[in-house]
Amino acid sequence: MIWVVDASVAVRWLLKGEEHPHAQAVLERMIRKPSSFAVPELFSFEVFAVLCRLHPDAQDAFSNGIVPILHSGILRHPMTAKLARSAIRFVRMGLTGYDACYAALAEDVGGLWLTFDEKAHRRLAGQPISCNLGKELPPE
């Protein structure tokens, strides 16, 4: 199983008051077995943007908290025409273009999108490709 990690998970690793035990569990597993995880290329841009708005030292938090993860062996998937074709179906289901890329990547790699975005998760009802970490951890 490949787990596709949403930016909403990563920011919980770095923002005081946003910590969550499920986000921490994902990070611990990611450190132990990075090859079981993937992110679309927009992940790092999204995380950096949030940190710039909310973290007192965004550059340091990103450089020391996210960059090592990006270089740990996780799959960093580029935006391709194939991913865009897959994502458009999820846009039609009501996801934003960003969220649709996470969902499409999860579907394309036969994985599961891990997110704290309950609204996006609900829009995918009946699609076994997302897990709302605010409620539960995925199996395994």
In 3-state terms, the chain is what percent helix, strand and coil (to 5)? 55, 10, 30
Assign domain 3-132 to its CATH superfamily.
5'-nuclease (3.40.50.1010)
Q: Per-residue confidence at 125, pLDDT binned at 50, 70, 90?
A: confident
Dist CA 51 CA 48 (whole Å): 5
pLDDT tens, position by position, 47-82: 999 999 999 999 999 999 999 999 999 999 999 999
pLDDT tens, position by position, 6-53: 999 999 999 999 999 999 999 999 999 999 999 999 999 999 999 999
Per-residue buried b or exposed e for 28-51, using 16+ beta carbons within 10 Å of the residue's own CB: eebeeebebbbbbebbbebbbebb
